[in-house]
Structure 1
């Protein structure tokens, strides 16, 4: 009986001795610190654009969307699009581009972008680089990485 027990809580001081006698190695449970996170509205006069994209498979059928909210947390606009066959990164970038286009159409100029994609927050994707950088120059845009759970709160 030499199997590994992955999730085991010792009930008493002899549990580990008994398992060792039976030849069962124990993989300790790692506890993680729980961090409470919550969506926060942008600063006064700003709007916040939360975007996300993904694909079923990578590459695969993909899509993305986003939501724009004002400094009171009120919804200004939202969108969702099918991007066809693409990678996760392409879908994330397309969602960003579509969100920035919508901000421009609505005349929104002070935009905080939040995304769970470190790729999007850290650098822009080649194919869309020129249009995104042009819009970032036209609009007052800043980028911030957030946890996935906050995008759709």
Structure 2
């Protein structure tokens, strides 16, 4: 775990969890490409998203467009996309909740722009601290 370079929270409106996961992955990959990062590590706690990316296609027509964009980005920036348990994805969960609460898109550049709670989460993850969820 390194320092936070950038982050985002996008409000996608009313759509399925599968579509939200695909759009968030696409948006994250696009942000990495814009910032000049390649061969990054992307994690998702959605097995459906990981399986869709591994297959290279989405079974639902609503996911087709997002999957096409993801495939183009994968070919350009060569990310490693892996499954992580929910506990390992707390920062992403926090950002998703933030976008839903505020009903708007947010972009953060650097750790100093992150909300205090998110800074705490990223520091705990960087230190490898155990997380107990109930």
The TM-score range, normalised by the shorter chain, is 0.5 to 0.7
**Aligned partners of 2:22 and 2:67 also within 8 Å:** no
Instruction: Specify the alignment match of 1:131 in structure 2.
Output: 69
Q: 1:116 aligns with which of 25, 41, 45?
A: 45
* Correspondence list, 1:18-29, <5 A: none
* Correspondence list, 1:1-150, <5 A: 41=1, 73-124=2-53, 125=58, 126-150=64-88
Question: How far off its partner does 1:127 sit?
Answer: 2.6
Between 1 and 2, higher relative CO (CA 8 Å, sep ≥ 6) is seen in 2
Deviations 1:76-118 (A, max 9, x none): 1100010011001111111001101100100001111111000
Give the Cα separation in 1 of the matches to 2:35 and 2:20.
Answer: 22
Deviations 1:105-142 (A, max 9, x none): 00001111111000111113423121111110000211
Question: Counting strand residues as a fraction of each chain, which structure ranks higher?
Answer: 1
Instruction: Specify the alignment match of 2:95 in structure 1.
Output: none
State the structure with more CA Rg: 1
Structure 1 outlier segments of 4+, above 6 Å: none
Residue 79 of structure 2 aligns to a residue whose secondary structure is: strand
**Cα RMSD, aligned residues only:** 1.2
Please give the TM-score of this superposition, normalised by the length of structure 1. 0.51
Question: Counting helix residues as a fraction of each chain, which structure ranks higher?
Answer: 2
Residue 18 of structure 2 aligns to a residue whose secondary structure is: helix
Which structure 1 segments of 5+ residues have no match? 1-40, 42-72
Question: How far off its partner does 1:74 sit?
Answer: 0.6
Residue 129 of structure 1 aligns to a residue whose secondary structure is: helix
Residue 143 of structure 1 aligns to a residue whose secondary structure is: strand
Please give the TM-score of this superposition, normalised by the length of structure 2. 0.58
Give the Cα separation in 1 of the matches to 2:88 and 2:73.
Answer: 25
Which structure 2 segments of 5+ residues have no match? 59-63, 92-124, 126-134
Residue 8 of structure 2 aligns to a residue whose secondary structure is: strand
